[in-house]
Amino acid sequence: MNQVGAKPGFQRGDHVHWQRFSVPYEYPVVFAHDVFAPASRVLARAILRPPPDRPQRCLVFADTGVLAAWPELAGRVRSWFAAEPRLELAADVAPVPGGEEAKRDPRHFEAVQEAIHRHGIDRHSYVLAIGGGAVLDAVGLGAAIAHRGVRHVRLPTTVLSQNDSGVGVKNAVNLKGVKNFTGTFAPPWAVVNDFAFLGRLPARERRAGLAEAVKVALIRDGAFFAWLEQNADRLAAFDPEAEEFMIRRCAQLHMDQIAHGGDPFERGSARPLDFGHWAAHKLESLSEHAVSHGEAVAMGIALDTRYSVLAGLLDDGGDDRVARLLARLGFRLFHPALRSGGTPTKPALLAGLDEFRQHLGGDLTVTLLSGLGKGVEVHEIEGIRVLRALDWLERQEDAR
């Protein structure tokens, strides 16, 4: 609705027309097994909404790590498209380097745009990304920028991307060492979580996604945290039933936050789903990515949980429960890079707080814990307490 007249910040006599409109977003998040099996139509149902009156073109990008782990995948993708008359594969499957390499080098998301242009992909066509979170981010950014938005279909292949980043609305790559500096908010057209990919993951990578489950349980769902404690051994052994329930519950909690948290495009100064992440992002760069994102998040969670106890927000013993759970799931609680750089009283890790604040602008807002299942926002982090929390983490690791 347009309105003319005085509003706060304007004087009477100023002619101000306030433009207001809302755009609803809706996309399916599907959980399935082996979507490229010849008889499966799951992917087609997720993409073709409504069914088109002519074949729609699709450009497919895949994580090089996934292609190496599943050598038959590219052929299965070609065969599946050949059997689906409503979709046309615009080109052979294009490889994209997996992991942080996809986000470090801007040539990768630029190559997505170039391929969209070269193969005539328009805004009624599709770009399908198969891979982990970094590949989804890089391909998603290329799709979001090309034509000001090409329909992006995500097919996450890791635990971390299926239970967390894959269902979100962000696409981003790094710039000059700053994580996720360049990006967009562009919801996907569809998300299809195929559990068939999980069994092909290396154990370390498969385990990494469990950190995000602990994170979202700690800030949103105490009953889910208790379930994680009860099923830690099954999860550590990659029991399929426990793993799939964990992924679905995490995805649901993330979707609830995006839909009902009031700030899906992060216009405010809070990042409630990034509990433990201010330290994790900095640790990744300090370790030169020897510590993976999931492993860094586990340490960041332990650090901020201990800090919550030191700050009087969380009851004593809560930090011990979190540390025990993370250890049972197979995570380390300390890495020397947490203390590297800077000085003994001001390690480089603390610069992560400024980077966290600058990423959104405004005041520092960090999520801590007031209970196991209840996040609380604070606007100040004291360096001396961070150092004491690091001491505690190091003692926990030494005692294992």
Q: Is the pLDDT confidence value at 94 over 60?
A: yes
- What's the rounded Cα separation, in Å, for the pair 63 and 133? 10
Least confident of 31-40, 71-80, 251-260: 251-260
Q: State both tokens at 347.
A: 């390690």
Nearest to 88 by CA among 49, 47, 59, 48: 59
22 domain-assigned: no
Q: Highest mean pLDDT: which of 181-185, 237-241, 252-256, 281-285?
A: 237-241
Nearest to 367 by CA among 378, 359, 356: 378
Least confident of 106-110, 117-121, 258-262, 363-367: 258-262
Decide: residue 347, CB within 10 A, 0-12 exposed, 13-18 middle, 19+ buried.
Answer: buried
- What's the rounded Cα separation, in Å, for the pair 155 and 128? 7
Q: Is the pLDDT confidence value at 6 over 70?
A: no
CATH number of the domain residue 235 falls in: 1.20.1090.10
The answer to whether residues 38 and 75 touch, using CB atoms and an 8 Å cutoff, is no
Q: Is the pLDDT confidence value at 361 over 90?
A: no
The answer to whether residues 367 and 219 touch, using CB atoms and an 8 Å cutoff, is yes
Nearest to 125 by CA among 97, 146, 108: 146
Q: State both tokens at 100.
A: 């942080």
Q: Assess whether 172 and 253 both reside in one domain.
A: no
Beta bridge partners of 130: 62, 155
Choice between 398 and 46, residue whose per-residue pLDDT is larger: 46
> What integer is the mean pLDDT of 78-82?
97
- What's the rounded Cα separation, in Å, for the pair 289 and 134? 13
11 domain-assigned: no
Q: Assess whether 251 and 226 both reside in one domain.
A: yes
14 domain-assigned: no
Task: Write down the pLDDT at residue 360.
Answer: 62
- What's the rounded Cα separation, in Å, for the pair 259 and 25? 9
CB under 8 Å to 210, separation ≥6 — which residues?
159, 235, 246, 294, 329, 330, 331
DSSP 99: T
> What integer is the mean pLDDT of 165-171?
87
Task: Write down the pLDDT at residue 181.
Answer: 83
Number of domains observed in the structure of the chain? 2
Residue that finishes a domain, picked among 200, 217, 246 = 200
Task: Write down the pLDDT at residue 359.
Answer: 64
18 domain-assigned: no
Q: Assess whether 193 and 216 both reside in one domain.
A: no
Element (H, E) at 369: strand 366-371
Q: At what angle are helices 277-286 and 351-360 packed, to 10 degrees?
A: 120
pLDDT in tens, 20-44: 888 888 999 999 999 999 999 999 9
Q: Assess whether 144 and 250 both reside in one domain.
A: no
15 domain-assigned: no
Q: Assess whether 95 and 189 both reside in one domain.
A: yes
Q: What string of DSSP letters covers 143-168?
A: HHHGGG--EEEEEE-SHHHHHTGGGS
pLDDT in tens, 310-337: 999 999 999 999 999 999 999 999 999 9
CB under 8 Å to 304, separation ≥6 — which residues?
275, 276, 278, 279, 366, 367, 368, 369, 389
The answer to whether residues 308 and 368 touch, using CB atoms and an 8 Å cutoff, is yes
Q: Assess whether 220 and 358 both reside in one domain.
A: yes
Q: Assess whether 240 and 190 both reside in one domain.
A: no
Secondary structure class of 42 (helix, strand, coil) = helix
pLDDT in tens, 275-319: 999 999 899 989 998 999 999 999 999 999 999 999 999 999 999
Q: Assess whether 213 and 276 both reside in one domain.
A: yes
Q: Assess whether 325 and 281 both reside in one domain.
A: yes
Q: Find the domain containing 63 and state its range.
A: 29-200
Task: Write down the pLDDT at residue 39.
Answer: 94
**Residue percentage of the chain with pLDDT more than 90:** 69
Residue that finishes a domain, picked among 159, 178, 200 = 200
Q: Assess whether 395 and 372 both reside in one domain.
A: yes
* Side-chain-facing half-sphere of 388: CA atoms under 13 Å: 12
Task: Write down the pLDDT at residue 270.
Answer: 55
195 domain-assigned: yes
- The amino acid sitting at 151 is R
Confidence of residue 1 (pLDDT cuts 50, 70, 90): very low
370 domain-assigned: yes
Least confident of 11-25, 89-103, 146-160, 281-295: 11-25
7 domain-assigned: no
Strand runs labelled E in 165-282? 170-175, 178-185, 190-194
> What integer is the mean pLDDT of 106-127?
92
Residue that finishes a domain, picked among 182, 200, 218 = 200
Q: Is the pLDDT confidence value at 2 over 50?
A: no
Q: Assess whether 247 and 307 both reside in one domain.
A: yes
Q: Assess whether 37 and 169 both reside in one domain.
A: yes
Confidence of residue 126 (pLDDT cuts 50, 70, 90): very high
- The amino acid sitting at 192 is V
> Chain-centre distance of CA 288, in angstroms?
20
- What's the rounded Cα separation, in Å, for the pair 226 and 355? 33
Task: Write down the pLDDT at residue 263.
Answer: 64
Average per-residue pLDDT for the chain: 90
CATH number of the domain residue 100 falls in: 3.40.50.1970
- What's the rounded Cα separation, in Å, for the pair 184 and 187? 9
Q: State both tokens at 188.
A: 């996907």
Choice between 11 and 268, residue whose per-residue pLDDT is larger: 11
Q: Is the pLDDT confidence value at 269 over 60?
A: no
**Beta strands 190-194; 151-156: pairing state:** parallel
